Amino acid sequence: MSLAVVYTRAQLGIEAPLVTVETHLSNGLPGFTIVGLPETAVKESKDRVRSALLNSHFEFPQRRITVNLAPADLPKEGGRYDLAIALGILAASEQIPKDELHHYEFMGELALSGDLRRIRGAIPSAIACGVSQRTIIAPTANSDEIALCESTTLLTAPNLLSVCAHLHKRHLLTAPTAPPPVTVQYPFDMSEIKGQAHARRALEIAASGGHNLLLFGPPGTGKSMLASRLPTIMPPLEQREALQIAAVKSVASRTVNEGWRTRPFRSPHHTSSAIALVGGGSNPRPGEISLAHHGVLFLDELPEFPRAVLEVLREPLESGHICISRANAQVEYPAKFQLIAAMNPCPCGFVGDRTDRCRCTPSQIARYRDKISGPLLDRIDLHIAVGSIPIADLQKKPDGETSQAIRTRVIQTRAVQLARQGCPNAELRGKALSRHCALAEPEQQLLAAALSRLQLSARSYDRIIKVARTLADMGGCEQIATVHISEALGYRNLDRATDQRITSTAPA
| 121 and 208 both lie in a single domain | no
Residue 346 reports pLDDT greater than 80: yes
- Strand spans (E) along 200-337: 213-216, 265-266, 279-280, 285-286, 296-299, 321-325, 330-334
| 160 and 206 both lie in a single domain | no
Q: How many CB atoms lie within 10 A of CB 181?
A: 6
Torsion of CA 193, 199, 202, 206, to 10 degrees: -60
| 405 and 284 both lie in a single domain | yes
| 260 and 389 both lie in a single domain | yes
Task: Identify the domain boundary among 381, 402, 425.
Answer: 425
pLDDT in the model for residue 287: 94
Domain span at residue 416?
Answer: 190-425
- Band (pLDDT 50/70/90 cuts) for residue 501 is very low
Helix runs in 255-358, H state only: 274-278, 288-291, 307-311, 314-319
| 356 and 388 both lie in a single domain | yes
Of 203-217, 257-271, 349-363, the one with minimum mean pLDDT is 349-363
Which is it for strands 18-26 and 3-9: parallel, antiparallel or unpaired? antiparallel
Give a yes or no: residue 400 inside a domain. yes
Q: Which of 342, 254, 238, 324 is nearest to 284 (CA)?
A: 324
| 153 and 234 both lie in a single domain | no
| 213 and 66 both lie in a single domain | no
What is d(CA 460, CA 344) in angstroms, rounded to the nearest whole number? 22
Residue 417 reports pLDDT greater than 60: yes
Give a yes or no: residue 183 inside a domain. no
Residue 508 reports pLDDT greater than 80: no
Q: ∠ at Cα 346 (391, 314), nearest 5°?
A: 115
pLDDT in the model for residue 507: 42
Percent of the chain surpassing pLDDT 70 = 95
Q: Which of 15, 32, 16 is nearest to 24 (CA)?
A: 32
Query: Where residue 394 sits, what CATH number does that domain have?
Result: 3.40.50.300
| 53 and 151 both lie in a single domain | yes
Average pLDDT over residues 2-11: 95
pLDDT in the model for residue 456: 82
Average pLDDT over residues 110-139: 94
Rg (Cα) of the chain, in Å, rounded? 28
pLDDT in the model for residue 226: 93
pLDDT in the model for residue 329: 73
| 90 and 19 both lie in a single domain | yes
Give a yes or no: residue 182 inside a domain. no
Task: Identify the domain boundary among 167, 199, 230.
Answer: 167
Cβ–Cβ under 8 Å, residues 39 and 1 = no
Q: How many domains does the chain have?
A: 2
What is d(CA 456, CA 84) in angstroms, rounded to the nearest whole number? 58
pLDDT in the model for residue 495: 64
Give a yes or no: residue 177 inside a domain. no
pLDDT in the model for residue 258: 66
Of the two residues 241 and 261, the one the predictor is more confident about is 241
| 254 and 132 both lie in a single domain | no
Highest averaged pLDDT of the listed ranges 187-196, 255-264, 337-346, 444-453: 337-346
pLDDT in the model for residue 1: 62
- Band (pLDDT 50/70/90 cuts) for residue 234 is very high
pLDDT in the model for residue 6: 97
Residue 362 reports pLDDT greater than 70: yes
pLDDT in the model for residue 371: 87
Query: Where residue 12 sits, what CATH number does that domain have?
Result: 3.30.230.10
pLDDT in the model for residue 504: 39
| 235 and 141 both lie in a single domain | no
Residue 39 reports pLDDT greater than 50: yes
Give a yes or no: residue 335 inside a domain. yes
Tell whether omega for the bond before 264 is within 30 degrees of 0, i.e. cis.
Answer: no
Give a yes or no: residue 228 inside a domain. yes
Task: Identify the domain boundary among 101, 132, 167.
Answer: 167
Query: Whole-model pTM?
Result: 0.88
Residue 368 reports pLDDT greater than 80: yes
Maximal CA-CA distance, the chain? 90
Cα distances from 300 to residues 268, 278, 332, in angstroms, run: 8, 17, 26
Residue 252 reports pLDDT greater than 90: no
pLDDT in the model for residue 28: 87
Cβ–Cβ under 8 Å, residues 60 and 23 = no
Residue 77 reports pLDDT greater than 80: yes
| 107 and 210 both lie in a single domain | no
Give a yes or no: residue 180 inside a domain. no
Give a yes or no: residue 125 inside a domain. yes
